[in-house]
């Protein structure tokens, strides 16, 4: 949510000569995305996003992300692929960091999507899953089900500094979800894995871009929808479920992939898994971010409350 | 250097209906300017900067700044005026803050201006000073010569935490400069008072915009040039003076206002005053910013070193 690496206008103008994109006209550091440095760059021909990848995005994973974006773009889906330089190279180095010049996409991220907007976004996810049927590369989910127990152990009893009883609550939820997690039966494809409203650009009720593919990986297809459901259908604090939005998301998705009986039966487990994943990653960040740092700490308990919605039996004592 | 106040896409779209500017297409929080929240906003018709004024800019001063920008724009100078809404209003309120929708200006801020670029920038300042000859509103310089002693006193001996001896060095420099400060003899006009390279947008050797007028005030005309000289003609640490850049700035300025013998004689005093002003404001920020905050603390000593260039007799023992 900040610019971590500065790029001078002189360095940027020289960088752009690698590409056939015209000359630099304007560059503004922008405050968004995961922990990367982003610039909105205008040239005499077009606009672009320049991204420098900071520590959270592993350079080794960039080829997977960029291949996925190219694949989706080639199929006509609204995603921002990296621009190729004169030698056909997408992943560059700038100021000592991996860097990509990326197509600028119109649209805005909504704070309070309506059911009509959720329907369009759910449908866009379905289209994306259709389009990856023939996408061969794979990437393990670095935040997948098998990483939750080790992350819980690393957080340990420090979790109780966030809310008394949080460690026990999370451990009980994880026992429940792990025991029911579908390991082999459901369809697995390349998923976005983080399709929050932030990562969907829209104009009116039309999706203009899916963005921020930096958690994309190979995992259970309907888990992607479960992540999206938890992110879209609740208020930020996770207290109130908006059934109209939640149902519209699924209805939009089902235009492309009607849920099977097994997927319906497992949806609450997949969504509970998503809640554990975000509660844990937020808790880790919370415990490792100084309270006076100027970054927003996202509340882990907002996902403990969602967990109670999906599995009332797991309703957190602390939330 | 961050977005302090978030504006949702829904709120922004509604805000734009006050204006005749088309509909919202894109909005990105941008990381620049003084301590305001800035967004690069694109509509179906054009691009704009939306600024929400945070605590450092007093709402009471906005009419002066906006009138000055309108005056300069009307004379054809490259500056970004505020857009008027359908009722002719420039200064709005949004999310509880004063807010202006501002014309987008092309160009980039240079990190290492060349002499040719300095010549153009010096000339642009001269043009600006020409254009304000008939600008009637006035604003006291909130960082002017009479504020330096009180600010030094408020910092007090804490200055020595930054560098041992800094308080005594600054006090001695201030004694020297105050005794020689021209109180009545030099021309006074509306000045920018902060025309660092950051605040001049250029394309090649052409100035495309002067920006960030939020320290603009009525003060000694050549003091504006002295501030600019200190900001442009040294490396960031203030160790090395670039005579070609410094002389080009003055040569550019003199296209419009040849310096009088008196102005030449007082230039080192005015420039020393500028060094004291920036050393003090940076020192105050330094002492009042936690070392682990994610904002860049600018080094006060970089201005103590410049002071030694302008007045070798004042060369700081600490720098």
Is the per-residue pLDDT at A295 higher than 70? no
Query: Nearest CA of chain B to the CA of A94: how many Å?
Result: 16
State whether B127 and B234 are in the same domain: yes
Q: What is the interface pTM, i.e. ipTM, of the complex?
A: 0.86
- A14 close to B (CB below 8 A): no
pLDDT at B319: 52
Q: In a mutagenesis test of the A interface, which of B36, B204, B294, B296 is the best target, namely the one with the most A β-carbons within 10 Å?
A: B294
Q: Does residue A4 lie within any of the structural domains?
A: no
The answer to whether position B4 is within a domain reads no
Residues A42 and A190 in one domain: no
The CATH number given to whatever domain includes residue A59 is 3.30.200.20
pLDDT of residue A1: 45
**Which pLDDT score is estimated for A317?**
61
- Using left for φ > 0, alpha for ψ between -120 and 50, and beta otherwise, residue A88 falls in left
Task: Tell whether the model's pLDDT for residue A163 goes beyond 50.
Answer: yes
For residue A9, the distance in angstroms to the closest alpha carbon of chain B comes to: 6
Residues of chain B found within 8 Å of residue A42, distances taken between Cβ atoms: 106
Instruction: Compute the average pLDDT of residues A134-158.
Output: 97
pLDDT per residue over A256-267, tens digit each? Answer: 999 999 999 999
pLDDT band for position A59 (cuts 50, 70, 90): confident
> Residue B1: what pLDDT?
45
User: Any idea what the CATH number is for the domain that residue B178 is in?
Assistant: 3.90.1200.10
Buried b (16+ CB within 10 A) or exposed e, B33-47: bbebbbbbbbbeeeb
Q: What is the pLDDT of residues A19-46, one digit of tens each?
A: 999 999 999 999 876 578 999 999 999 9
Chain A residue closest in CA terms to B41: A108
Q: Hey, how many other C-beta atoms are within 10 angstroms of the C-beta on A314?
A: 22
- The Cα–Cα gap between A216 and A192 comes to 4
CA nearest neighbour of B69 among B46, B87, B51? B51
Are the CB atoms for A73 and A132 separated by under 8 Å?
Answer: no
Q: In this structure, are A117 and A252 located in the same domain?
A: yes
Which one of A85, A104, A123 terminates a domain? A104
In a domain, B264, yes or no: yes
Let me know whether A132 and A89 are in one domain: no
B76 and B134, same domain (yes or no): no
Q: How many structural domains are present in chain A?
A: 2
Domain boundary at A63, A86, A104, which?
A104
Question: Is A10 close to B293, i.e. CB distance below 8 A?
Answer: no
Same-domain pairing of B58 and B126: no
Q: What is the pLDDT of residue B34?
A: 59
Structure tokens at B23: 């509909």
Report how far apart, in Å, the C-alpha atoms of B30 and of each of A37, A39, B50, B58 are. 11, 9, 10, 21
Distance in angstroms (rounded) separating the CA atoms of residues A81 and A211: 10
Residue B1 inside a domain? The answer is no
| pLDDT band, residue A4 (cuts 50/70/90) | confident
Q: Is B198 exposed, middle or buried (0-12, 13-18, 19+ CB in 10 A)?
A: middle
The pLDDT of residue A84 is above 90: yes
Cβ-defined contact of B112 to A8 (cutoff 8 Å) = yes
Q: Are A215 and A98 in a shared domain? A: no
Range of the domain at B127: 109-314
Res A31: pLDDT: 82
| pLDDT in the model for residue B36 | 87
User: Could you tell me if B193 and B130 lie in one domain?
Assistant: yes
Nearest chain A residue (CA) to B44: A106
Chain B CA closest to residue A203: B25
Of B26, B110, B290, the CB nearest to A108: B26
Structural domain contains residue A319: no
Size of interface A-B (CB pairs under 8 A): 90
Q: Can you tell me the distance from the alpha carbon of A254 to that of A111, in angstroms, rounded to the nearest whole number?
A: 24
Compute the C-alpha angle B227/B247/B195, nearest 5°. 25
**Chain A residues with CB-CB distance to B199 below 8 A:** none
Say if A209 falls within a structural domain.
yes
pLDDT of residue A11: 96
Predicted pLDDT at A292: 56
Q: What six digits make up the tokens of A200?
A: 């969907």
- Chain A closest CA to B266's CA: distance in Å? 34
Contact B9 A110 (CB under 8 A): yes
CB contact under 8 A, B111 and A31: no
pLDDT band at A62 (very low <50, low <70, confident <90, very high): very high
**Residues of B numbered 221-280 whose beta carbons fall under 8 angstroms of chain A's beta carbons: which are they?**
none
CB contact under 8 A, B107 and A2: no
* pLDDT tens digits along A111-124: 999 999 999 999 99
Instruction: Show pLDDT as tens, one digit a residue, over chain B (319 residues).
Output: 466 788 999 999 999 999 999 999 999 999 876 578 999 999 999 999 999 998 777 789 999 999 999 999 999 999 999 999 999 999 999 999 999 999 999 999 999 999 999 999 999 999 999 999 999 999 999 999 999 999 999 999 999 999 999 999 999 999 999 999 999 999 999 999 999 999 999 999 999 999 999 999 999 999 999 999 999 999 989 999 999 999 999 999 999 999 999 999 999 999 999 999 999 999 999 998 766 555 567 889 999 999 999 987 776 665 5
Can you read off the two tokens belonging to residue A279?
A: 């509660």
Q: Of B69, B104, B139, which residue constitutes the final position of a domain?
A: B104
Cα distance between residue A211 and residue A109, in whole Å: 10
Q: Is residue A117 part of a domain?
A: yes
* Together in a domain, B171 and B49: no
Contacts 24+ apart (CB under 8 A), A168-173: A169/A304, A169/A314, A169/A316, A169/A317, A169/A318, A169/A319, A170/A276, A170/A279, A170/A280, A170/A283, A170/A304, A172/A314, A173/A272, A173/A275, A173/A276, A173/A307, A173/A311, A173/A314, A173/A316
Residues A97 and A115 in one domain: no
Residue B133 forms part of a structural domain? yes
**Sheet strands side by side (includes A97-103):** A92-94, A97-103, A47-52, A37-43, A24-30, B24-30, B37-43, B47-52, B97-103, B92-94
Contacts of B24 in chain A (CB under 8 A): 108
Q: In sequence order, what are the residues at sequence separation of 6 or more whose Cβ sits closer than 8 angstroms to the Cβ of residue A128?
A: A72, A77, A192, A210
Q: How far is B315 from chain A (nearest CA, A)?
A: 31
CA distance B217 to B142: 8
Q: Do A106 and B42 touch (CB under 8 A)?
A: yes
Residues A132 and A92 grouped into a single domain:
no
Between chains, do B24 and A295 touch, taking CB under 8 Å as contact?
no
- Nearest CA-CA distance, residue B25 and chain A, Å: 5
Res A264: pLDDT? 95
Q: Are residues A286 and A307 in the same domain?
A: yes
């Amino acid at each position: 949510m900040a610019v971590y690496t500065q790029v001078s206008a002189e360095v940027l103008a020289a960088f752009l000569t690698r590409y056939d994109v015209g000359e630099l006209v304007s560059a503004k550091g922008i405050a968004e995305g995961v922990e990367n440095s982003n610039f909105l760059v205008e040239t005499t021909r077009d606009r672009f996003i320049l991204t420098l990848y900071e520590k959270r995005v592993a350079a080794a994973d960039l080829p997977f992300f960029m291949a996925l974006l190219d694949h989706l773009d080639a199929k006509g889906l609204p995603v921002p692929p990296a621009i190729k330089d004169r030698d056909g190279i997408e992943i560059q180095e700038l100021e000592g960091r991996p860097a990509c010049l990326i197509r600028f996409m119109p649209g805005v991220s909504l704070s309070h999507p309506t059911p009509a907007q959720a329907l369009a976004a759910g449908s866009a996810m379905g289209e994306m899953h259709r389009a990856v049927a023939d996408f061969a590369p794979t990437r393990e989910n670095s935040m997948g089900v098998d990483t939750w127990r080790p992350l819980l152990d690393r957080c340990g009893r420090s979790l109780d500094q966030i809310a008394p009883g949080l460690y026990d609550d999370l451990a009980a939820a994880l026992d429940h979800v792990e025991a029911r997690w579908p390991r082999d039966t459901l369809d697995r494809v390349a998923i976005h894995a983080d399709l929050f409203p932030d990562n969907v650009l829209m104009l009116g009720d039309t999706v203009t871009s899916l963005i921020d593919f930096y958690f994309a990986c190979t995992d259970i297809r309907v888990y992607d929808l479960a992540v999206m459901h938890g992110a879209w259908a609740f208020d930020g604090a996770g207290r109130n479920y908006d059934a109209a939005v939640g149902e519209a998301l699924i209805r939009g998705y089902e235009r492309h992939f009607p849920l099977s009986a097994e997927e319906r039966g497992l949806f609450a487990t997949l969504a509970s898994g998503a809640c554990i994943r975000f509660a844990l990653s937020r808790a880790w960040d919370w415990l490792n971010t100084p309270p006076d740092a100027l970054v927003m700490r996202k509340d882990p308990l907002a996902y403990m409350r969602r967990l109670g919605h999906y599995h009332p039996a797991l309703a957190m004592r602390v939330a």
